[in-house]
Amino acid sequence: MIAGVALAAAVGLALSACSTGAPEAASGTTDTINAELWYAPATFDPAKASASSDVTVARLGFDTLLRQGETEGYVGGLATDWSSTSASDYTFTIRNDATCSDGTAITPTVVANSFSYLVGLDDSGAQTWKNQAFGSGTPTFTPDDAAGTLSISLSAPYSQLFGGLTRPGSGIICPAGIADPEGLAAGTVAGAWSGPYTLTKSEAGKSVQYALRDDYKVWPDWKNVEGTPAKTINLTVQADSNTSANLLESGGVDLARFYDANAQRFEGDGYSTVTFASSAYNLVFNQAPGAGSVFEGNKDLRAAVAQAIDREGFNSAGLDGLGVEQNTVSAASYRCALDDSSLVQKYDPAAAAKVLNGKTIRLLMMSNWDPAGDFLAESLRAAGATVTVSAPDPADWTKQMRTQPETWDMAIAAENAESGLIHTSIARYLGPTYAQGGTNVASSDNPEGMADYEAGMNATDPDEQCANFEAAQKTILERVDMTPLITDTHRYVARKGFASYVFSGYWDISAMRIVS
C-alpha cells in the first residue's frame, strides 16, 4: 500500500451492454456474500499489507482501536475511550469483552505487543503503517491490564494519531500470530485473528473465503448500518470491470466495485450504490541522488512533463471521464487539502516540447493500467521524449517505488484517497525516504516544506494544523516534486438484498450486510 496504501484497479475499460433487469434478490435464508478483489492478497499479515487486496482483507481479520465515524470523527473499535494531553501523549481504554479467535482475551498488553511487533518490523509496508499510526518518532507503549488502559508516548509529536489508528495496517494481531510470523503472513494461524472474520480457505491467485466468528460481539457502534453480517464471505479475483458488471447483473456476485462507466448499468432495479474517493492519481518525479534519474535537480524538466499532460484526456483514457480534477497531493475532500489550480502547470504541449525533446524517461506503472499509462507515454512522446514503460505486478511496483530508485525516473502513483489523513500524502514528497525510515518516494530535499509539515504535526489546534499542512503542500507543488492528475470516484454497487457502507469517505468491507 502506498502511504495511504490502497491501489487502483485496471483502468479504461469500455461500457458494455445495458442492464436487462436485476437478478433475483437474496433469499431470506442466505448467509453468504459473494464479492470481488482486483488482485490476490500477497500477505495476511496486516502490518505488512501494501497492495489494495492486502489492506481489504486485513479489515476483515483484524480489529483496530478506533474506526471512522459515519459522518466525522471516530467511533470505538477495540477502544471504548481515548484522550490526549498533548500531541505526544495518548491514553486508550481497551474494552473488556474482546477476544482473539482462539479465546485469548484482548488486553492492553496484547494491544501493546501487537504495536511493538508493527514498529519493530524491517518492512516497507510496516514503515508506512507505523508512520500513519505513530508518526516519525519512536512510540513507547505502557499497558495497565488492571486498569484496562494503554498509554502511548511519542518521542516526536504527532497530532494525527487517532486517525492513524483507524487504518487497517494497525490492526491488532493476537499472540498466536505474533508467535508465528510466517504462518500469520500465510493466514494459517487459527488464533491470530482479532476481527470479526477468520480465513478459512485461500486459493493462490484466485480466491479467499472468510467465516464469521461465532463468538464475535464487538462491532463498532454504527448507527445507520442495517442488515445481518454474512456468515461466509467469498472473495474472487476479478480485474476486468466488464466481467464484474456481467457477474453482478446475473447474480454471480452480490456486490462489486466500479471505477468506470460500468457502474451506470445499475441505476434502479433494486440495486444500491455508495460512492467514495478511492485513489488520487499523481505523477511522482524521482530525485534520488545518484540514481540516474533525469529529474534529479531539474525542476524545468519536471514542469515540462506536467505541461505535456492533458488531465482531461487522462481522465477519459483511464476512468471514462468519471474522475475529478485534483490540485494537490490527494483528494480535495480531505481536511486541510489545498485546492488551488493556479499551483498546477497548465496544459501547454508546445512549451513542454521545447524542454522534453530528446529526453529519455523511464515510466513505472502497475500492470493492468495500460490505457492510462499509454496515454501518458504517448503524451510525452508527442513532445519529443523517448519513453520506456515498465509495468510490474503490484508487489514489485511497490518495491521499486520505495526501494529501487535506480530503476525508474517517473511513476504513476495512486495514493489512497480513503484514509482522510492528508499528512500521509504530504510525507510522500518530503522528509526521509523509505531507506531512511520515512515514506518519501520522490527522494526530494524540501526543508521548507518539512518545517511546515512538522509544525502541523506538533499543532493540537485543528486550524493551526491545516494552515501548516497547506503551506507544506504549496512548497511541494511549487517545486514540482509531483504533479496531480485526478481523483477517481469509485462506486460500490450491491444487488437487491445486500448493502455496503461508507464511513467518512472510507468504504469498509466488514460492514457489508445481507438486508433481505
Which residue is associated with the grid cell 477517481?
488
pLDDT digit string (tens) for 124-169?
Answer: 889 889 988 998 889 999 999 999 999 999 999 999 999 999 999 9
pLDDT given for residue 228 in this prediction: 96
Rg of the Cα atoms in the chain: 22
Cα–Cα dist 415/331, whole Å: 9
Q: Taken in order 471, 475, 478, 484, is the CA torsion positive or negative?
A: negative
Nearest to 240 by CA among 266, 223, 218, 262: 262
Which residue is associated with the grid cell 482531461?
312
Q: What is the pTM of this model?
A: 0.76
pLDDT digit string (tens) for 54-83?
Answer: 999 999 999 999 998 887 789 999 999 999
Cα–Cα dist 194/50, whole Å: 20
pLDDT given for residue 370 in this prediction: 81
pLDDT digit string (tens) for 194-213?
Answer: 999 999 999 998 999 999 99
Q: In what order do the strands lie in the sheet with 149-154?
A: 79-86, 89-94, 149-154, 139-144
Cα–Cα dist 44/58, whole Å: 7
Domains, the chain, ordered by start = 39-237 (3.40.190.10), 278-489 (3.10.105.10)
Grid coordinates representing 422?
A: 492528508
Cα–Cα dist 23/21, whole Å: 7
Q: List, in order, residues 6 or more apart from 377 with CB less than 8 Å away.
A: 363, 387, 389
Residue 418 · residue 277 · CB < 8 Å: yes
Nearest to 255 by CA among 60, 22, 497, 493: 493
pLDDT digit string (tens) for 40-54?
Answer: 999 999 999 988 899
Backbone angles phi, psi at 301, to 5 degrees: -70, -40
pLDDT digit string (tens) for 335-362?
Answer: 889 989 999 999 999 999 999 999 999 9
pLDDT given for residue 27 in this prediction: 54
Residue 438 · residue 421 · CB < 8 Å: no
Cα–Cα dist 421/166, whole Å: 10
Top-confidence residue, 29 or 351: 351
* ∠ CA 243-206-404, rounded to 5°: 100
Bridge partners of residue 150, in order along the sequence: 92, 143
Phi-psi region of 286 (alpha: psi -120 to 50; beta: other; left: phi over 0): beta
Residue 7 — very low, low, confident or very high, per pLDDT cuts 50/70/90? Answer: very low
Cα–Cα dist 267/260, whole Å: 14
Q: List, in order, residues 6 or more apart from 315 with CB less than 8 Å away.
A: 321, 322, 323, 325, 485, 486
Residue 461 — very low, low, confident or very high, per pLDDT cuts 50/70/90? Answer: confident
Residue 24 — very low, low, confident or very high, per pLDDT cuts 50/70/90? Answer: low
* Statement: residue 455 has pLDDT above 90: yes
How many Cβ atoms are within 10 Å of 122's Cβ, its own excluded? 7
Cα–Cα dist 454/472, whole Å: 9
pLDDT given for residue 4 in this prediction: 32
